[in-house]
Structure 1
Amino acid sequence: MADALLGILIQNLGSFVQEEFATYLGVGELTQSLSRKLTLIRAVLKDAEKKQITNDAVKEWLQQLRDAAYVLDDILDECSITLKAHGDNKRITRFHPMKILARRNIGKRMKEIAKEIDDIAEERMKFGLQVGVMEHQPEDEEWRQTTSFITESIVFGRDKDKEKIVEYLLRHASNSEDLSVYSIVGLGGYGKTTLAQLVYNEESVTTHFDLKIWVCVSDDFSMMKILHSIIESATGQSHNFLTLESMQKKVQEVLQSKKYLLVLDDVWNQEQVKWEKLKHYLKSGNTTKGASILVTTRLDIVASIMGTHPAHHLVGLYDDDIWSLFKQHAFGPDGEEREKQ
């Protein structure tokens, strides 16, 4: 129940960022911070629900989380109602006392609940909760896997995002002697993987790089697993390496003297030491300029740990793009023509 509620809240917060109130009283930044904190909490929720059986402190922590989540849900509902009510009355400007009072009230309540959720997120650390300890079914793991192939026939609203990332890879990162890392950050369902696929398959990107590699990382930031995926993707062959040493040598061999693009999709790892170790393996023996990594993640902390360049934050689609996407899924590629008929 808590997982489902947090999922809805994270989704609603993403939409709220686009609304009028999110730009007032610093609530926009506050909303994004709330979303990040809830995402961090949600990542350890399964472990908490398991540990509450034998740990009363964890049980109390979960109850505090539920209470805070319901309060935040009520605030967001009130925001939607207020926005609709004021939006329907064209005579009420943003400087009208009614709007100013409503903004001030919601802003105050948002700050109060944000502080409470900050404390809850901080408190989770003392319980030693683990990320992704839930027992995934094999079919769930398979469903979460991604590939470099574009699965959507038409992608709406991401042309400018794609252009900006391609621009970085082809120009800014091209002359860098260090390994360049660029992160795409956004809420679940915002199209991070699809955007990475668009960049990966862009003709100019394919021409620019000597080698392209796609690795779906997900919850398990396993060094052996990632290195094995890099080798398999680069060589097109499956290898049976028994040690990390043999894998590292093979990775150095396939990447040596190559300007490569490595996509690490759906990264959740927050342990900097793990990333630094992987980065060392990727850099070893390769002095070619322009080698780059493109990361997709929901978490700003992951981007800050991994990135050598400010992250690219995805926002929700605009109404026109959402409508086009709806018609695409509801009616197929000819949806617009059918609508005109």
Structure 2
Amino acid sequence: MADVLLGIVVENLGSFLREELATILGVNELTEKLSRNLTAIRAVLQDAEEKQITSHAVKVWLQNLADAAHVLDDILDECSITSKAHGGNKWINRFHPKKILASRGIGKRMKAVAEKIDVIAAEGQKYELRVGVSEEHQRGDDEWRQTISVITEPKVYGRDTDEEQIVEFLLRHAVDSEELSVYSIVGVGGLGKTTLAQVVFNDERSIIESTIGKNSDLSSLESMQRAVGEILQNKRYLLVLDDVWSEDPEKWDKFKYLLQRRNGKKGASVLVTTRLDIVASIMGTYPAHHLGGLS
């Protein structure tokens, strides 16, 4: 998750400045510039995560960003470890011959990473990434969109194979699992993820006991706990979480813990629909089912 990684790196850059390590090593201005650039890039990451589904170029851009962030974080860790190993005496460290050589090496490495991040930031402008687009989209969806179990399309075309693959997963893999099984349907908007989930939900082969709810919003976990507990306790169920956008693994871990704590019977399953691969990787216990376009 690029957003989590960049958040950690920006926080470490802040500590690097506060502890005066950047000043001692002569990279204070460079560190401040890195922090500004990464903070600006982080603001558009949600849009990039969505666009990478259909754009290989954006996917490569995100990978290059993650690689550079990892290198920078390794440098910051090295600086912190070295400082602690010498007792944190700033003035001895600063003028010690070995420290002078080390500062030059670290300065060169940080400058090289900063140049890479400058290139990445400039390249990102080509993709017209917008700030906070996912939150805006999610708020808009929550205001008007609620998902029901009834199939709203008069006829569903071209998804028979997808339906069979998902139902087969529920019948042959999930049904015998002692652990909660989570299967994700991933695809861009308009491909029919929700309709496919409705079709699977209404397939009489796959449903043992089921529950119906509003559009899932993991941020409202507290308000969901009591209802979820009452409905799902001691049942084999298929719970559909439609149009999930939250990339916060902590929220999902809490919700998953709640489901597991309610002692659902063997075969309890969750079917997730989302536009984001990162959401599927956080939530899924099996490889995601990627929905392609209809020919």
Q: CA deviation at 1:313?
A: 0.3
Q: 5 Å matches for 1:294-333?
A: 294-318=271-295
TM normalised by structure 1 equals 0.49
Question: Is contact 2:51-2:58 (8 Å) kept?
Answer: no
| CA distance 1:276–1:130, shift in 2 (3 Å) | farther
1:77-128 CA distance string (max 9 Å, x none): xxxxxxxxxxxxxxxxxxxxxxxxxxxxxxxxxxxxxxxxxxx89xx8xxxx
Q: Name the SS of the counterpart of 1:213 in structure 2.
A: coil
In the alignment, which residue of structure 2 is the partner of 1:265?
A: 242
Query: Does 2:221 align with 1:223?
Result: yes
Q: C-alpha distance in 2, partners of 1:307/1:135?
A: 21
Q: CA deviation at 1:146?
A: 1.9
Q: CA deviation at 1:254?
A: 2.7
Q: Name the SS of the counterpart of 2:278 in structure 1.
A: helix
In the alignment, which residue of structure 2 is the partner of 1:200?
A: 201
Question: Is contact 2:244-2:274 (8 Å) kept?
Answer: yes
TM normalised by structure 2 equals 0.56
Query: Does 2:193 align with 1:213?
Result: no
In the comparison of the two structures, how many residue pairs are matched? 194
Question: Is contact 2:146-2:214 (8 Å) kept?
Answer: no
Q: Name the SS of the counterpart of 1:154 in structure 2.
A: coil
| CA distance 1:261–1:131, shift in 2 (3 Å) | same
| CA distance 1:273–1:141, shift in 2 (3 Å) | closer
Question: Is contact 1:165-1:199 (8 Å) kept?
Answer: yes
Off by >6 Å, runs of 4+ in structure 1:
34-37
Q: CA deviation at 1:257?
A: 1.5
Q: Name the SS of the counterpart of 2:219 in structure 1.
A: coil
Q: C-alpha distance in 2, partners of 1:166/1:134?
A: 30
Q: CA deviation at 1:273?
A: 0.8
1:43-88 CA distance string (max 9 Å, x none): xxxxxxxxxxxxxxxxx9xx95884037xxxxxxxxxxxxxxxxxx
Q: CA deviation at 1:147?
A: 1.4
Q: Name the SS of the counterpart of 2:205 in structure 1.
A: helix
Question: Is contact 2:61-2:124 (8 Å) kept?
Answer: no
C-alpha RMSD of the superposition: 3.7
Question: Is contact 1:177-1:287 (8 Å) kept?
Answer: no
Q: 5 Å matches for 1:286-301?
A: 286-301=263-278
Q: C-alpha distance in 2, partners of 1:163/1:172?
A: 13
Question: Is contact 2:148-2:212 (8 Å) kept?
Answer: no
Q: Name the SS of the counterpart of 1:166 in structure 2.
A: helix
Query: Does 2:281 align with 1:280?
Result: no
In the alignment, which residue of structure 2 is the partner of 1:153?
A: 154
Question: Is contact 1:217-1:264 (8 Å) kept?
Answer: yes
Q: CA deviation at 1:284?
A: 0.8
Question: Is contact 1:252-1:286 (8 Å) kept?
Answer: no
Q: CA deviation at 1:252?
A: 2.9
User: Given residue 187 of structure 2, which amino acid in structure 1 is its aligned partner?
Assistant: G
**Identical aligned residues as a percent:** 49
| CA distance 1:165–1:135, shift in 2 (3 Å) | closer
Q: CA deviation at 1:175?
A: 0.5
Q: C-alpha distance in 2, partners of 1:156/1:210?
A: 27
In the alignment, which residue of structure 1 is the partner of 2:135?
A: 132
User: Given residue 59 of structure 2, which amino acid in structure 1 is its aligned partner?
Assistant: S
| CA distance 1:310–1:130, shift in 2 (3 Å) | same
Q: C-alpha distance in 2, partners of 1:35/1:204?
A: 43
Q: C-alpha distance in 2, partners of 1:159/1:280?
A: 33
Q: CA deviation at 1:315?
A: 0.6
In the alignment, which residue of structure 2 is the partner of 1:68?
A: 126
